[in-house]
Amino acid sequence: MPATDIDFERDFAEVVARLRDVPAAAPESLRARVHALGEPEAPPTLRDRVAIVPWRRAVLVTVPVCLAALLSVAAVRGLLSSRPERNVTASAVSGASTTPEKAPPFFAPVPAWDSATTEHGALSSGVGGSGRPAHVDASMRVRVPDLDTLTDRTREAMQIARSLGGYVASVQQSTSAGKPGEADLLLKVPVGHVDTALMRLSALGTVLDQNLSVVDLKQTLDQQRSRIRSLRLQIARLQQALRDPALTADVRLRLQFQLDAARQTLSRLTGSNKATLRQAALSDLSLALTTERAAGAATKDHQGRTERAVRDAARFLAAAGAVALFVLIAVSPLLLIGAAWLYGSRAYRRREERRLLAATPE
Amino acid sequence: MKAVNAVTTSWPRLAVERPAFAAVAEAELDAVHRYLLFLTGDRAVAEDLTGETFEKAFRAWRRFDPRRGSARTWLCQIARTVALDHFRSEERRRRREERFSHGRADVDDGPAVPGELGEALAGLSPAEREVVALRVLLELDGPTAARVLGISRTACSTRLSRALKRLEELMRDARD
């Protein structure tokens, strides 16, 4: 028995016995009235089902479920956004088309290069390996840890170019005290070895940025060759015509001028063709080595995935909390009014009950 | 044999196995009637209100959850609401007609309980008779009775003690 309870069975034994002896069975008419009600048959409605759930229990279940859902969403969001990001961009150029992409495309498996149209995917690899003439221009920015390493890596880059059959067109290295060291190299590498060269150069340090442009030269070469053929034919015809002894002096002179002009044009065109072929044979690789720590890259490099996931999840939760706080502030007047109304109506009802039941008969 | 109604909700966690309404009505009719008899102090009114209580319970039976309390407690809560509504309407009627002073149900056909006990009970307020009915006659435990009355357990216990003490005094006075 609780401390607040009384043992009325013992303290008021006589009164209790008298009270319990009172015959208070319900009259038969009332019993018949209640029996006539029968059994409820209608199935429970949604309102009944909802009404049967105690609100305290509903709150106890709903709040943790909502919190768990929010945490799950935050965790998933954090994990998704913490996937490794490559701060490397690559662009490919054919004519005027340029498309950036996150992953360095030229290290992918080599597909057939069957079109001059450099769709990004088609261009992405096999630079110089498809047999189709093209000019490749690549640039790469690589971060190295310190100045000593910068010198070593510069030397290594030059060796790479030479080992692949290319050469170093220019080198410029600056290592001023108090400033980040820089080394700019222009390497000429046979187009067939561009992939290998880029792969080996990217291993010199952390790639901060890289760019690749490929200009298809087949059409240019075809036009040049066609023009050369027609010029040679024209020269042959002119030479044939000049052998005719019946030619008048002025006609011979005019043909001779045409022959000279054709030969000059052929010579110039042949030179251009050779230059184009040289372009197609060697690729330009611009390599910039630096000791400068790219702020974003450095941060990301040293940030663990877990750390980023936690940070993003926390950011999401903070945003959700801000929204919840805003909603709470917005609806708090209504909540206060509702709570006051609820409390007031309950107090009024209690007071009314007390008044109705407190009246003592006269 | 325990009759079980097959009405359950489709959500497993909300599945409720209720006894048959008819069986509950049969078992609790006398208790509810006795409670209302003590509360109103009028046999005719108690009979009417008991019928009304069970009709109301019949309509709300699908919302009865045995896990939250016994059928007796649930029926007593309904009976109390019905009785309070009755008191309010009676009060309004009395006020309109200005026949009676206030606060008391009509007693036209004599006291609900005959003899000196009846006279003593008539000297208690409805709130006191109510707590006596719930605790002594219907044998609800302290917390349950307090829940039905909407008051704290301490208040319920105090009210019961005071009611029984007063009843004892009134009976003694009547005897003397």
pLDDT of B6: 44
Q: ipTM strictly over 0.90? A: no
Per residue in A187-200, pLDDT (tens digit) is: 988 888 888 888 88
User: Closest Cα to residue B130, out of B88, B167, B90?
Assistant: B167
Nearest to A350 among B150, B167, B171 (CB): B150
Q: What is the pLDDT of residue A355?
A: 85
Confidence at residue A88, expressed as pLDDT on a 0 to 100 scale? 39
Dist CA A133 CA B11 (whole Å): 71
Give me the pLDDT at residue B108, please. 52
CA distance A250 to A110: 61
Backbone angles phi, psi at A282, to 5 degrees: -120, 140
| pLDDT value of position A308 | 77
Taking CB atoms and an 8 Å limit, are A26 and B113 in contact across chains?
A: no
Of all residues in chain B, what percent carry a pLDDT higher than 70? 82
Per-residue pLDDT tens digits for A278-296: 888 888 889 998 887 654 4
- Per-residue pLDDT, B54: 94
In this complex, is the C-beta atom of A24 within 8 Å of any C-beta atom belonging to chain B?
Answer: yes
Residues of A in contact with B62 (CB under 8 A): 40, 42, 44-45, 48, 52
What's the angle, vertex CA A112, arms to CA A108 and CA A117, rounded to 5?
95
| Closest residue to B63, CB basis, from A34, A39, A52 | A52
* Opening angle at CA B140, ends B84 and B172, nearest 5: 80
* Structure token digits, residue A200: 């080996």
* Interval A121-152: pLDDT, tens: 333 444 545 567 888 888 888 888 888 888 88
Residue type, B145: A
Rounded Cα distance between A314 and A214, Å, is 44
Looking at residue B110, its amino acid is: G
- Ranking A68-82, A301-315, A336-350, B153-167 by mean pLDDT, the lowest is A301-315
- How many angstroms away from the CA of A32 is the closest CA of chain B? 10
Q: Would you call B165 an interface residue with chain A, using a CB distance cutoff of 8 Å?
A: yes
Q: What are phi and psi of A39, to 5 degrees?
A: -125, 135
In order of A355, B33, B98, the CA distances from B88 in angstroms are 10, 20, 15
Contact A51 B63 (CB under 8 A): yes
List B62's β-bridge partners, or say none: none
Segment A261-273 shows an average pLDDT of 91
pLDDT tier for residue A82 given thresholds of 50, 70 and 90: low
**Residue A29 and residue B47: Cβ atoms within 8 Å?**
yes
Burial of A270 (0-12, 13-18, 19+ CB in 10 A): middle
- The residues in B 50-89 lying below 8 A from A, measured between CB atoms, are 50-51, 54-55, 58-59, 61-63, 65, 68, 84, 87-88
Task: Please tell me which residue of chain B has the smallest CA distance to A40.
Answer: B58
Where are any strands of DSSP class E within B88-130?
Answer: none
Residue A220 in tokens: 């240019």
Determine the pLDDT at residue A131: 67
pLDDT tens digits along B84-95:
999 888 888 877
Out of A180-194, A229-243, B10-24, B34-48, pick the least confident.
B10-24
Q: Whole-angstrom Cα distance, residue A316 to residue A310?
A: 10
| More confidently predicted of B118 and B106 | B118
State both tokens at A41.
């048959």
Residue of A nearest to B82 (CA): A353
CB distance A357–B127 less than 8 Å? yes
Task: Find out whether A117 and A94 touch, Cβ atoms under 8 Å.
Answer: yes
Collapse the DSSP code of B149 into the 3-class scheme (helix H, G, I; strand E, B; otherwise coil) and give the result.
helix
Higher pLDDT, A81 or A263: A263
Higher pLDDT, B48 or A1: B48
Contacts of A231 (CB under 8 A, 6+ apart): A262, A265, A266, A269
Q: Which of B50, B117, B123 sits opposite A22 (nearest CB)?
A: B117
Chain A nearest-CA distance from B137, in A, is: 6
What is the separation of C-alpha B24 from the centre of its chain, rounded to a whole number of angstroms?
16
Task: Beginning with the edge strand found earlier in the chain, give each strand of the sheet holding A282-290 in spatial order.
Answer: A167-174, A182-190, A282-290, A134-143, A206-216
pLDDT at A211: 86
What pLDDT sits at residue A344? 94
Question: Distance, in angstroms, between B83 CA and closest chain A CA?
Answer: 10
B21 at the A interface (CB within 8 A)?
A: yes
Mean pLDDT of chain B: 81
Query: What letter does residue A82 receive in the DSSP assignment?
Result: T
Output the pLDDT for position A90.
39
pLDDT of A3 higher than 50 = no
Q: How much is the pLDDT for A359?
A: 64
**pLDDT tens sequence across A29-57:** 888 888 888 887 766 677 766 766 777 77
Find the mean pLDDT for residues A206-223: 85
